[in-house]
Amino acid sequence: MNPNPVLSSKPWSPALLCLTTLLCVPVVAPASVLFSDNFNTNSASLWTTNYAPSANSAVQQATFAFDYSTFGIPAAPGSTDTLGLRLRSNIPMVSGAEVTTRPAGVTSGLSLSPTGKNFGSNYMLSFYVWANFNGAANASGLADNANSEGGTHNLLWAVGTSGTVPIAVGNTTLVSGGQMDGIGFATTGDAGIVNDYRIYPKSGTIVPITSTNYVAGGAANTNALYTTLCPSVTAPVEQQALSTAEYALDASNTQAGSTQAGAFGFAWHKVNITKSNNIVTWVVDNTLLATYDASALTLGGNNIALSDSDVNGSTTRHPSLLFAVYDNLTVTDLPGLPKIGVTATNGNVSLSWTNTGSFALEYADSLSTPVAWTNATATLTTNSGTVSATVSITNSAQFFRLKQ
């Protein structure tokens, strides 16, 4: 028996208790909501907005209670309304007014954090996000290429930040005046750069895609992990009408065609970022994308951030179509583990745990990625709030988990 718990980077649990080389049982207790915002009202007073560079704050925008249905976007999962938070960056403006002529801009962005919050060392940030962009003014439609007219923007989310600094990145580094005092994860709506799924640890230098921190290490958006997660889709038909009405001189409709597989845009995605002490994980639609160990870093705080920024200095000719929308955001704690009892005799393992929720018992023959978990055959009994199960061990190496 190994009496020492081992922390896990798995998105399904804040901790992993390894009791023998044959048995690993993760458990999750009910979480408490530390902060939430459905963005149905103007909740700007709950948030701190930081701009980088500060001189360009006028061309960054956060709109609360934004009705995204005007762009044909359906209600986010779990919502009965179409109100959310819209973020825009590097908006093309002349004399304070938006234009569609692509004036010179500056690589810039903004980040928002709940004002004055400290969520502790263990918490999970969860939200739904929609990335909108404009495509190429040619037959390629929503595919990204040299004619995409400035449609590539960053969506970035961070934990472990102070919440008082502008977290904004360009392509692979911070923008002028930007800071990274936490652990950030970023993507683009249109898969318009090589590193479309990125980790930014404190300092703001991107973790190379060849790193094992990424589940699809060494791969771009064309990797099967990303193309399965984000299949090719089309923009809402309402946006094609908007594009035609506003930009009739384009060679073809900028919202026509389909996205390239692996592009994050034009779909609601649920994002979970979990910070379990020093282990930070990034999960999209229940799929683990990346894990980062921040043990060697001193992070800026215990807050979270949502960021939107441009990948370069060029502005877009289609400002009304380039934005990110957020809905149903929550921050929850990661409660401690209930007590687990284990005995092993005559080829059987008996497990017992506190009945703190509905769990499925699963097993795997290996913890090599991707882990193949299978429902275990066991009879569960409950007595005085304790659940017990006995399972036959048939392999030389076998791992078990409780999944809620």
Q: Is residue 153 part of a domain?
A: yes
Domain count, the chain: 2
Residue type present at position 357? G
pLDDT tens-digit readout, 239-293: 999 988 888 777 788 898 899 899 999 999 999 999 999 999 999 999 999 999 9
Q: CA-to-CA distance for 244 and 258, rounded, in angstroms?
A: 17
Of the three residues 292, 308, 333, the one that is the final residue of a domain is 333
User: Tell me, what's the pLDDT at 396?
Assistant: 56
CA atoms within 13 A on the CB side of 294: 30
Average pLDDT, the chain: 85
Task: Select the more confidently predicted residue: 374 or 197.
Answer: 197
Q: CA-to-CA distance for 260 and 54, rounded, in angstroms?
A: 34
Both tokens of 209, joined, read 């895609």
Predicted confidence (pLDDT) at residue 404 exceeds the cutoff of 60: no
Please tell me whether residues 398 and 318 are part of one structural domain: no
Please tell me whether residues 291 and 381 are part of one structural domain: no
Please tell me whether residues 40 and 111 are part of one structural domain: yes
Q: Is residue 301 part of a domain?
A: yes
Please tell me whether residues 129 and 164 are part of one structural domain: yes
Q: How many residues would you count in the chain? A: 404
Structural domain span for residue 142: 33-333
Please tell me whether residues 352 and 320 are part of one structural domain: no
Q: Is residue 7 part of a domain?
A: no
Please tell me whether residues 199 and 307 are part of one structural domain: yes
Please tell me whether residues 20 and 80 are part of one structural domain: no
What would the mean pLDDT of 201-219 be, rounded to a whole number? 87
Please tell me whether residues 391 and 328 are part of one structural domain: no
Question: Above pLDDT 90, what percent of the chain?
Answer: 59
Q: What is the pTM of this model?
A: 0.79
Of the three residues 311, 333, 355, the one that is the final residue of a domain is 333
Of the three residues 333, 355, 387, the one that is the final residue of a domain is 333
pLDDT tens-digit readout, 12-25: 333 333 333 344 44
